[in-house]
Amino acid sequence: MATRRSFLAWLGGLGGALSTGLLARCRRSPAAAARVAFPVLAPGPLEPGVAETLAVAAETLLEQPIERQHYRELFEWRAAAVPGCRGLYQGFAAALDAGARDAGLGSFAASAAAARRRLLAPYAERGADAGKEVERGIFRDVRALFARTDALALLGYEAWPGTPRGLDAYVRPPRAG
């Protein structure tokens, strides 16, 4: 007859084994990786390459040509100024790169567009916990920046609001008469 203490020890061991197995499975499967929580880090600079990976992810999400520098600047600024963004950005970029490596593609940014879409798909699922976090913390900001900048250029505007435009017309003085 087992005592309560031995039963609880057995139950704790079983729980630990199951959680270890689930974590190992999450590392292997991109869809399961979307259920892993991202680390919480204090605001600060991003690790090298993270902003570029996120800018490529933004371009893949939007399926439109974008000016990546604006998105890199957005990610770098938010990581340095907004609590929680740095850990989310670095964790998301690491998850995308790990998924690409697991698929034999090298890095996420160097992968073909179709492969990048496949790697982003689990995060676009509304039911996944990490998908919700990525949607709130990254994809929403990407779509808002796109609407204010690159979408206007796609609609035919010379530049977006707040950007100097038409300066080429002022390089010569008006003709007299």
- The 3 state secondary structure assigned to 109-177 is CCCCHHHHHHHHHHHHCCCCHHHHHHHHHHHHHHHHHHHHCHHHHHCCCCCCCCCCCCHHHHCCCCCCC
Task: Classify 150 in phi/psi space as left (phi over 0), alpha (psi -120 to 50) or beta.
Answer: alpha
pLDDT value at position 33? 45
Considering the entire predicted model, what is its pTM? 0.71
Which positions ≥6 away from 171 have C-beta within 8 Å?
Answer: none
Q: Report in angstroms the alpha-carbon separations of 12 from 7, 16, 23.
A: 9, 6, 16
Residue 136 has phi, psi (to 5 degrees) of -70, -45
First to last CA, the chain: 110
Query: What's the pLDDT tens digit per position in 6-65?
Result: 655 655 555 554 444 433 433 444 444 444 578 888 999 999 999 999 999 999 999 998
Q: How far is it, in rounded angstroms, from Cα 164 to Cα 162?
A: 7
Average pLDDT, the chain: 80
